[in-house]
Amino acid sequence: MDKRYKVLNICSWYPNELKPTLGNFVQKHAEVISIYNDVVTLSIFSDPNAKKLRISIDKKKHLVEIIVYYPKKTMGWSLWLKLSNFLAHRRAFRVGFRKVKEEIGKPEIVHLNIVYPLGIWALWLKKRYKIPYVITENSSGFHVTSDHAYPKPIMRLCQLILKNANYILPVSENLKENLQKLSPSNHFDIISNVVNEHLFTPKQSVGNIIKRLIHISTGVDEIKNLSGMLRVMNNLKIQKIDVTLDIVSDGETEYAKKLALDLKLENSVFFHSTKNTAEISQMIQERDALLMFSNYGNFPCVIAEAMMCGKPVISSNVNGIPEHVHDFNGVLVNPRDEKALEKEIKRFVGAELKFDSNLIRNYALKNFSYSEVGKKFTTIYKMVLES
């Protein structure tokens, strides 16, 4: 891949000063793309405390990250507020795009990460400057049967943006099926979340008598079902099963902490706040398995991270997860089936379930590594720009 394309990544989600872990998987995709291309990321966020528009720029090798923060009005007449904030948002994009052109000139292709809310600008750039765009999508907003599905007006806007894309790249087959219902005539390919294979590496197990599980998520109970996991951990405690659970979350988990306290789980369930990528890697390496019990979701990046460390996954069988969790790298149960989850954890602790760390790692290298995913993205760019 000798040709390096000039790629603008427009990112609806991206780690920023207000939410340091928001869309960290989007940032990893940008890092992957920059292996083979010259990349600028552009993100825009409202800041109610800002007095004026400000820009943050971070330059790395072949990757420039631009974040524009704009003041958001919160007081006033509803229609005036919406118009005022949209105009501020539009100005932030224009200022950000000028900075993009200063870094790489006119982009050859736009890579939109998460359709809403910034997809409108990918569409505008295509109409105004004839710059084609591709989309990577990971939002649960397109799972129309979930409580977190996008409202109809937003869904109609997303449908317009999807239909004008040159390629749509969902992270799972399940999400692809949902997006095809909105835009059936598009070109689709599945490119999964990615993991730095040099940071997330296997670590020799010390053979702990007590099995240590880890769960990493935003902690939203309607999606991640922490309450269900805690009830299962309580049943295991009553049966004197030797297992602990570490919960890592940058979200609101006070409800879970209260439930854990009520169930007297202080010696078996431990809560941790936001961790950086290196800390997450170390925590996964030091645990025996990843535990997920989501009611729905696409394909969480943390599953790929656990596999890259050679760790098995115990998870609910929802959406894109069964596309990668198989008998040799994990076990699946039905969502909300606490009895089944309890049974599988007991089997794992009792060594009835056994996994080969090397097999799990090799699968992750083939499907989630920086080098392999970077090649896939660049192949798509080549198809769009040279067809």
| 211-367 shares the fold of 6-194+369-386 | yes
State the fold for domain 211-367: Rossmann fold (3.40.50)
pLDDT single digits (tens) 84-125 = 888 999 999 999 999 999 999 999 999 999 999 999 999 999
pLDDT single digits (tens) 303-335 = 999 999 999 999 999 888 999 999 999 999 999
State both tokens at 349. 């602790």
State the fold for domain 6-194+369-386: Rossmann fold (3.40.50)
Q: How far is CA 68 from CA 43, 172, 193, in A?
A: 6, 30, 25
User: pLDDT tens digits, the chain, 387 residues: what are they?
Assistant: 578 999 999 999 999 999 888 888 899 999 999 999 999 999 999 998 888 999 999 999 899 999 999 998 776 667 777 888 889 999 999 999 999 999 999 999 999 999 999 999 999 999 999 999 999 998 877 765 556 678 889 999 999 999 999 999 998 888 898 899 999 989 999 998 899 999 999 987 666 688 999 999 887 888 899 999 999 999 999 999 999 999 999 888 899 999 999 999 999 999 998 898 999 999 999 999 999 999 987 788 899 999 999 999 999 998 889 999 999 999 999 999 999 999 999 999 999 999 999 999 999 999 999 988 999 999 999 999 997
Q: Locate the domains of the chain by residue range.
A: 6-194+369-386, 211-367
**pTM of structure:** 0.85
